Chains A and B, each alone.
Chain A
Amino acid sequence: MSTVSQVEVHEHSEHAHEEHHELGFIRKYIFSEDHKVIAKQYLISGIVWAVLGALMSVVFRLQLGFPEMDMAWMKPFLGDWISLDNKGLGKLDPNFYLALVTMHGTIMVFFVLTAGLSGTFSNFLIPLQIGARDMASGFMNMLSYWIFFISSVVMFVSLFIKTGPAGGSWVIYPPLSALKEANPGSGDGMTLWLVSMALFIVSSLLGGINYVTTVINLRTKGMSMDKLPLTIWAFTFTAILGILSFPVLLSAALLLIFDRSFGTSFYLSDIYINGQALPNQGGSPILFQHLFWFLGHPEVYIVILPALGLTSEVIATNSRKPIFGYKAMIFSMAGIMFLAFIVWAHHMFVTGMNPFLGSVFMLLTLIIAVPSAVKGFNYITTLWKGNIIFTPAMLFAIGLVSFFISGGLTGIILGNSALDIQLHDTYFVVAHFHLVMGSAAIFGMLAGVYHWFPKMFGRMMNNSMGYIHFWITFIGVYLVFFPMHYIGIAGFPRRYYQWSGFETFNTYMDLNAFITIAAIITVFAQAVFIFNFVYSIFWGKKASANPWKSNTLEWTTPINPGHGNWPGEIPTVYRWPYDYSKPGAPDDFIPQNVPYSATPESNLPEENELIAAEKEINSIKYDTSLHD
């Protein structure tokens, strides 16, 4: 496959012109093969899931912050999960608490930050930014979305069954998840969870294969790999991570399915229930953890890398400066991607693994701090002395950098195998990953929505509402997760229904209540965003073709790009995407499709030499004898 790096685009402009007949409503908006429509479908599904996941967190935060609270008022929509005692006091069912935590994790990690983030922006931006008519296979793309949709439906249905949704936490460790007797949530809810996740994996593999193929094979004339926007690099690395790690989760899930439903014992051994020995012999629950975290760790980079890519683009555009260290950014993302596969056991330091092995994984884990820090520095140096324009997208991008740094610092602490003995499964871990991966990725996603909204819907989002949304969310996130570190250091274990049984934990009850209030405010501040989003789709101010004065190719399309993206020929690319505020240039941006020959006043000496090569780029002929 080494030859493919030279591959230039196989374009089907002649096709595109033939296909101008109008599609019916169903093919246009529902079973669409157009990457832009699929991206919007992913985005809206992601937002719906995010609302659901966030509301779940409100319910369990209420339980944690105010364990004595009367929850009877939630009975209308939680039904039997609120049990009334003889005084009429409503209590949250402890098993449902576990199910809520599980579902919150699953929904946020997979349905919102994997499908909602990668699915939206990889689909939307890859063809637009590399200059392609559509994805490599529109049909596979459509299939990917609809399999994700079925997976969503299965997961959603599991919320309404009698025994409740899966309750073994999003990592579904056996034997808890393997035995129906262990927990109501390990019954049918877990079965549906596994079915849903298997479908989800198929969907993300179809998507990921499509993304990589599109980036490698369908770039426009002149778009060599070193001229790709960093977003595209990030999406490509994300897709590669998914392609390599999701099959492993599928195999782990499959063995679990066999243990649950076919009586095998891959993960089960020597288990007694009520004094009765189970027939399962010879399995190893640690094996599941190895398989799970071999996906699970890359998964956190699947979540954060696209957000980092979007941030690079937003920060460079709104600082009106070239991104600092373009190549360093690519190499650090590549480094993160590579390291992602060899650090999984840092989630398992306390499983009784060999301490020497623990040291190896600790060393590898701490090395990730290097490329992450490179990225952090590059964002800050890009901002440094920039002509910063604080659009809502820019604020969210800067917010991401802030969370990425403050959450990343605690990662260095947690990566130590000795310190992890104290901190493992405490709220310190919860605070760490909610900052570095949860909030950071959500902020990247929101930055992306605010920034590319004009291209998606042809209208602008309201700025004032954007600022309100940003400031409440940004401050709210810190108010939620900063105190959580202290609670974690104090030893509060995660996934506990309540701590009131322990005298020691009473000290921090007020802090927990504070976190809950901050969380509720933060969650309900998202209503501003939802309103802004829906309102602007229909009644927002009409957008111009290039509202942010950006360089990348998507802004050269019409305001509402149709099928095939560009009405005429796809623009040719001559320069990298970050020529902002170039000395000598009349404007503070030079789009990628402007040749050096047209900008003699701002060319550097070595760029003048490239003018000769432009003829060569122009004369590229596509080999049309190749079939699709």
Chain B
Amino acid sequence: MKKDIEITKPILTVNKWKFIVWLFIVTIIMFFAAFTSAYLVRRAEGNWTEFEIPPIFYYSTAVLLLSSVFMHLGYKAAKKDNFNSLKLYISITFVAGMIFLVMQYMGWTILQKEGVFLKGNPAESFYYILTGLHGFHLVTGLVVLFFSFLEAFKMNIHAKNLIRIEVCATYWHFLDILWVYLLLFLVFFR
């Protein structure tokens, strides 16, 4: 094996920060995979209550998906050095993220009115914990977004320096997909 040599190419395909954010995403995937498999194992044992998911969770999903669209538009704007729309789109993404969190909270209050409690059956506890932990990760996403926002104002994000916005977008889209996965999971494995 030491005999044959790879033709080493003078290229760099991945920036280290992009690599880091992907590894970070892998850890989050494992984190939630553990919860959802625990959910399935526990559900298979019976003694499992079923409840309707309030429609507000579907609306919040739409808001979050919309934020992803704006995130992508922001990235495209940065690529074209279109600073005004970059700032605008990042701001919209940020606000949409906040609205999503508020709607998740409203969803919790509705659930509690319907008699679904954190302390109840594990089915109910799991619902709160999965949505809550996703919410927590979304807050970290908002922090990342906020720093990108600051950088955008300092004119540090432009066509020649896209790493920050790319990392931010990757993370934000991931949080989006994660939520869609969790919602589908919670709907189909009630």
Closest to A579 in B: B2
B69 at the A interface (CB under 8 A): no
Cβ–Cβ contact A7 & B13, under 8 A: yes
Contacts of B28 in A (CB 8 A): 247
B27 at the A interface (CB under 8 A): yes
A212, B19: Cα distance in complex, Å: 9
Q: Please tell me the number of chain A residues within 8 Å of chain B, measured between CB atoms.
A: 71
* 10 further interface pairs, Cβ-Cβ under 8 Å (given A8-B9, A214-B16, A250-B31): A1-B19, A205-B27, A212-B19, A221-B8, A222-B8, A255-B38, A290-B38, A576-B2, A610-B3, A627-B160
Contacts of A216 in B (CB 8 A): 14, 19
A290, B42: Cα distance in complex, Å: 11
Cβ–Cβ contact A251 & B31, under 8 A: yes
A264 at the B interface (CB under 8 A): yes
Q: Which of A47-55, A434-442, A483-491, A611-619 contacts B (4 or more CB under 8 A)?
A: A611-619
Closest to A290 in B: B41
Cβ–Cβ contact B16 & A213, under 8 A: yes
Contacts of B13 in A (CB 8 A): 3-4, 6-7
Interface string of B23-55 (1 = CB under 8 A from A): 110111011111100100110010110000000
A94, B39: Cα distance in complex, Å: 37
A281 at the B interface (CB under 8 A): yes
Contacts of A262 in B (CB 8 A): 118-119
6 nearest A-B residue pairs (beta carbon)? A247-B31, A251-B34, A576-B2, A247-B30, A248-B34, A264-B125
A604, B17: Cα distance in complex, Å: 41
A389 at the B interface (CB under 8 A): no
A627, B159: Cα distance in complex, Å: 11
Interface residues, chain B, CB within 8 Å of chain A? 1-3, 5-17, 19-20, 22-24, 26-28, 30-35, 38, 41-42, 45, 47-48, 118-119, 121-122, 125-126, 129, 133, 160-161, 163
Cβ–Cβ contact B47 & A282, under 8 A: yes
Contacts of B16 in A (CB 8 A): 10, 136-137, 213-214, 217-218, 628
Closest to A3 in B: B13
Contacts of B5 in A (CB 8 A): 224, 610, 613
Cβ–Cβ contact A620 & B6, under 8 A: no
Knowing A209-B23, A213-B23, A251-B34, say if A10 contacts B12 (CB, 8 Å).
Answer: yes
A404 at the B interface (CB under 8 A): no
What would be 15 A-B contacts, judged by CB atoms less than 8 Å apart? A6-B6, A6-B9, A7-B14, A8-B10, A136-B19, A226-B1, A243-B26, A248-B31, A265-B119, A290-B41, A613-B5, A613-B7, A616-B7, A621-B10, A628-B17
B130 to chain A, nearest CB (A): 11
Closest to A609 in B: B3
A246 at the B interface (CB under 8 A): yes
Contacts of B42 in A (CB 8 A): 266, 283-284, 287
A235 to chain B, nearest CB (A): 15
A29 at the B interface (CB under 8 A): no
Cβ–Cβ contact B10 & A7, under 8 A: no
Contacts of A246 in B (CB 8 A): 27
Knowing A262-B118, A287-B42, say if A217 contacts B19 (CB, 8 Å).
Answer: yes
A375 at the B interface (CB under 8 A): no
A252 at the B interface (CB under 8 A): yes
A210, B22: Cα distance in complex, Å: 12
B90 to chain A, nearest CB (A): 19
Cβ–Cβ contact B19 & A287, under 8 A: no
A78 at the B interface (CB under 8 A): no
Closest to B124 in A: A264
Knowing A136-B20, A247-B28, A620-B8, say if A263 contacts B119 (CB, 8 Å).
Answer: yes
Cβ–Cβ contact B38 & A4, under 8 A: no
Contacts of B118 in A (CB 8 A): 258, 262-264
A326 at the B interface (CB under 8 A): yes
A9 to chain B, nearest CB (A): 8
Knowing A247-B30, A606-B3, A613-B5, say if A209 contacts B14 (CB, 8 Å).
Answer: no
B56 to chain A, nearest CB (A): 23
Cβ–Cβ contact B12 & A8, under 8 A: yes
A97 at the B interface (CB under 8 A): no
Other-chain contact of A6, B8, B17, B34, B126 (Cβ < 8 Å): B8
Residues 579-628 of A contacting B (Cβ, < 8 Å): 604, 606-607, 610, 613, 616-617, 619-623, 625-628
Interface string of A250-275 (1 = CB under 8 A from B): 11101100100011111000000000
Cβ–Cβ contact A627 & B31, under 8 A: no
Highest count of chain B CB atoms <10 Å: which of A8, A217, A252, A290: A217
B88 to chain A, nearest CB (A): 24
Closest to A295 in B: B34
A291 at the B interface (CB under 8 A): yes
B163 to chain A, nearest CB (A): 5
B22 to chain A, nearest CB (A): 7
A324, B22: Cα distance in complex, Å: 35
Cβ–Cβ contact B34 & A327, under 8 A: no
Residues 167-221 of A contacting B (Cβ, < 8 Å): 205, 208-210, 212-214, 216-218, 221
A575 at the B interface (CB under 8 A): yes
Cβ–Cβ contact B163 & A627, under 8 A: yes
A265 to chain B, nearest CB (A): 6
A122 at the B interface (CB under 8 A): no
Contacts of B19 in A (CB 8 A): 1, 4, 136, 212-213, 216-217
A140 at the B interface (CB under 8 A): yes
Contacts of B119 in A (CB 8 A): 262-265, 279
A563 at the B interface (CB under 8 A): no
Contacts of A75 in B (CB 8 A): none
Cβ–Cβ contact B125 & A265, under 8 A: yes
Closest to A330 in B: B1
Cβ–Cβ contact A251 & B27, under 8 A: no
Cβ–Cβ contact A327 & B1, under 8 A: yes
Contacts of A254 in B (CB 8 A): 129, 133
Contacts of B22 in A (CB 8 A): 1
Contacts of A227 in B (CB 8 A): 2
Other-chain contact of A575, B2, B23, B125 (Cβ < 8 Å): B2
A244 at the B interface (CB under 8 A): yes
